[in-house]
């Protein structure tokens, strides 16, 4: 068991088991829960491409690596690429809370922001009960892995009618010290009736480090609540990032997510929105930008359980180099969930002959009084538009950058928070400017 972390010939299953035994002992309820989750993960192992949900994403590379649980590590200062200084900030470094860089100001009324550890210290039974209720039965092996190994996380409670003007900014920073490590952060948000808040999740990494982030985010939005969720993924170029987001919406609740994937060698977000109360609305916006040899994947599932629910989904992919973008969006309309209105769109841009886009927009409909549509396109930059810009004196690379930016803008423009949008726009520009120059 001391060999944990070293390159060993043990099977991935054995390695994770050894890592678990080394990190978690004891007999309390939470550990028992962790152990049960681990057992479930061990029994299924990593999903394979024979698994329809993982048809286009191969995890073999991730599976062969040995990652150990990351230790708490320090970070000196505020990082330049953090998105905003306003509002409440919680910083997790390699999956551990770092109080020094988290905001110290008093929390706004109606909001309780705790780290998962703090919550556990106060109400261990409540934590165990919550996890039991929400996680024990998910069939997803990687979510089970998160439950087995999570160190810390963020718990946000919004009281009924609490309206937050400033965002809650959660930074998941991986440092160079994270190399060879895995972190399993959790974010749990419970929004009361008619509450309103903006949550920003930002995943960042340090160059050259190879690590594994396996994040779980849960939202429960009570009647009339509204949550805006920005999720920026800019992990280090060699990192693995798997994220699972699950949102449950009660009557008239609203949820929107803006899933911007820029980093990681292999990145994937799985988003599930369950519309449980009538009048609920979910909006999913996403941008995937696989370049180099990146593999970025978005797997979404919108489940219309209640009648009179609506959803909108718009995902865009821009793939260059040898990048591969994957989009799989499923809309389910359950029996008797009538009067559903749902739109889904997946648009993709291929910039190079070696890039690939795989898209799979699915509809599964068991009710008749519904309006559901989806569309998907894959193509290249419009030659006429390119010609127009060139004829106005723009260089080839400027013209291309402008058109790519315009393509991405329809997703970026859905971001209502100015500093976040500006920062992401800048990052997109830099990314494709660079790509065009190396191409020219």
Partner 1 sequence: MASNPQTDPTLEALVAQKYRHGFVTDIESDTVPPGLDEDVITFISRKKGEPQFMLDWRLRSYRHWLTMKEPHWAHLRIQPIDYQSISYYSAPKPKADAPKSLEEVDPKLLETYDKLGIPLHERARLAGVAVDAVFDSVSVATTFKERLHKAGVIFCSFSEAVQKYPELVEKYLGSVVPYTDNYFATLNSAVFTDGSFVFVPKGVRCPMELSTYFRINAAKTGQFERTLIVAEEGSHVSYLEGCTAPMRDENQLHAAVVELIALEGAQIKYSTVQNWYPGDENGVGGIYNFVTKRGECRGANSKISWTQVETGSAITWKYPSCILTGDNSVGEFYSVAVANNYQQADTGTKMIHIGKNTRSTIVSKGISAGHGQNAYRGLVKVLPSAINARNFTQCDSLLMGDKCGAHTFPYMEVRTPTASVEHEATTSKIGDDQLFYCLSRGISEEDAVNMIVNGFCKAVFKELPMEFAVEAQNLLAVSLEGSVG
Q: What residues make contact with partner 1 under the rule CB under 8 A? A: 52, 56, 335-336, 338, 348, 350-380
Identify whether the C-beta of residue 205 lies closer than 8 Å to the C-beta of residue 188: no
Backbone Cα Rg of the chain: 21
Residue 83 or residue 332: which is nearer to partner 1 going by CB?
332
Q: What CA–CA distance (Å, rounded) separates 231 from 31? A: 30
Please report how close the Cβ of residue 386 comes to partner 1 at its closest, in angstroms.
13
Would you give the DSSP letter of residue 118?
Answer: H
Please report how close the Cβ of residue 302 comes to partner 1 at its closest, in angstroms.
14
Where in 320-439 does DSSP place strands (E)?
324-333, 340-350, 356-365, 370-379
Q: What CA–CA distance (Å, rounded) separates 247 from 189? A: 9
Residue 57 or residue 348: which is nearer to partner 1 going by CB?
348
Element at 255 (helix H, strand E): strand 254-261
Please report how close the Cβ of residue 375 comes to partner 1 at its closest, in angstroms.
4
Please report how close the Cβ of residue 331 comes to partner 1 at its closest, in angstroms.
9
Residue 33 or residue 357: which is nearer to partner 1 going by CB?
357
Residue 11 or residue 380: which is nearer to partner 1 going by CB?
380
Coil/strand/helix, residue 13: helix
Residue 238 or residue 339: which is nearer to partner 1 going by CB?
339
Residue 122 or residue 371: which is nearer to partner 1 going by CB?
371
Task: Return the axis-axis angle of helices 396-412 and 418-439, rounded to nearest 10°.
Answer: 150
Partners of residue 220 on adjacent β-strands: 190, 248
Q: What CA–CA distance (Å, rounded) separates 142 from 185? A: 12
Please report how close the Cβ of residue 322 comes to partner 1 at its closest, in angstroms.
11
Residue 167 or residue 361: which is nearer to partner 1 going by CB?
361
Task: Please calculate the CA angle 417-422-424 and round it to the nearest 5 degrees.
Answer: 100
Partners of residue 192 on adjacent β-strands: none
Residue 22 or residue 381: which is nearer to partner 1 going by CB?
381
Please report how close the Cβ of residue 165 comes to partner 1 at its closest, in angstroms.
40
Please report how close the Cβ of residue 336 comes to partner 1 at its closest, in angstroms.
7
Residue 181 or residue 337: which is nearer to partner 1 going by CB?
337
Task: Please calculate the CA angle 219-224-229 and round it to the nearest 5 degrees.
Answer: 35
Identify whether the C-beta of residue 236 lies closer than 8 Å to the C-beta of residue 264: yes
Please report how close the Cβ of residue 424 comes to partner 1 at its closest, in angstroms.
24
Q: Which two tokens stand for residue 37?
A: 């989750």
Identify whether the C-beta of residue 202 lies closer than 8 Å to the C-beta of residue 83: yes
Measured in whole angstroms, the distance separating CA 426 from the mean position of its chain's CA atoms is 20
Please report how close the Cβ of residue 380 comes to partner 1 at its closest, in angstroms.
4
Q: What CA–CA distance (Å, rounded) separates 289 from 311? A: 24
Coil/strand/helix, residue 43: helix
Element at 233 (helix H, strand E): strand 226-234
Q: What CA–CA distance (Å, rounded) separates 277 from 219? A: 15
Coil/strand/helix, residue 190: strand
Please report how close the Cβ of residue 50 comes to partner 1 at its closest, in angstroms.
10
Alpha helices in 136-238 (DSSP H): 141-149
Residue 368 or residue 391: which is nearer to partner 1 going by CB?
368
């Amino acid at each position: 068991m001391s060999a944990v972390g070293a390159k060993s010939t043990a099977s991935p299953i054995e390695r994770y088991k050894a890592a678990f035994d080394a990190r978690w002992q004891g007999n309390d309820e939470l550990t028992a829960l962790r152990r049960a989750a681990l057992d479930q993960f061990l029994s299924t192992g990593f999903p394979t491409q024979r698994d329809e949900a993982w048809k286009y994403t191969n995890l073999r590379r991730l599976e062969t690596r040995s990652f150990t649980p990351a230790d708490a590590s320090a970070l000196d200062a505020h990082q330049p690429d953090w998105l905003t200084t306003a509002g409440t900030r919680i910083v997790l470094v390699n999956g551990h809370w770092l109080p020094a860089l988290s905001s110290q100001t008093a929390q706004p009324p109606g909001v309780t922001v705790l780290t998962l550890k703090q919550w556990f210290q106060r109400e261990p039974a409540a934590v165990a009960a919550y996890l039991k209720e929400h996680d024990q039965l998910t069939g997803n092996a990687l979510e089970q892995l998160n439950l087995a190994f999570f160190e810390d996380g963020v718990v946000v409670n919004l009281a009924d009618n609490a309206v937050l003007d400033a965002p809650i900014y959660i930074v998941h920073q991986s440092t160079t010290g994270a190399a060879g490590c895995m972190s399993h952060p959790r974010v749990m948000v419970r929004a009361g009736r008619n509450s309103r808040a903006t949550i920003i999740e930002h995943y960042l990494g340090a160059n050259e480090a190879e690590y594994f982030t396996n994040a779980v985010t849960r939202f429960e939005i009570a009647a009339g609540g509204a949550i805006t969720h920005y999720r920026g993924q800019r992990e280090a170029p060699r990192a693995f990032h798997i994220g699972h987001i699950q949102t449950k919406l009660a009557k008239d609740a609203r949820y929107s997510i803006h899933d911007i994937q820029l980093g990681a060698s292999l990145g994937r977000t799985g988003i599930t929105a369950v519309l449980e109360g009538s009048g609920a609305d979910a909006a999913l916006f996403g941008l995937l930008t696989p370049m180099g040899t990146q593999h970025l994947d978005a797997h979404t599932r919108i489940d219309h359980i209640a009648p009179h629910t609506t959803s909108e989904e718009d995902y865009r992919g821009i793939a260059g180099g040898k990048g591969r973008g994957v989009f799989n969006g499923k809309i389910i309309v359950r029996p008797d969930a009538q009067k559903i209105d749902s739109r889904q769109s997946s648009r993709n841009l291929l910039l190079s002959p070696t890039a690939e886009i795989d898209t799979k927009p699915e509809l599964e409909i068991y009710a008749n009084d519904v309006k559901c549509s989806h569309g998907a396109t894959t193509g290249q930059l419009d030659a006429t538009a390119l010609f127009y810009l060139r004829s106005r004196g723009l260089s080839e690379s400027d013209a291309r950058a402008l058109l790519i930016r315009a393509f991405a803008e329809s997703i970026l423009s859905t971001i209502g928070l100015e500093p976040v949008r500006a920062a992401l726009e800048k990052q997109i520009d830099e990314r494709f400017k660079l790509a065009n120059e190396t191409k020219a």
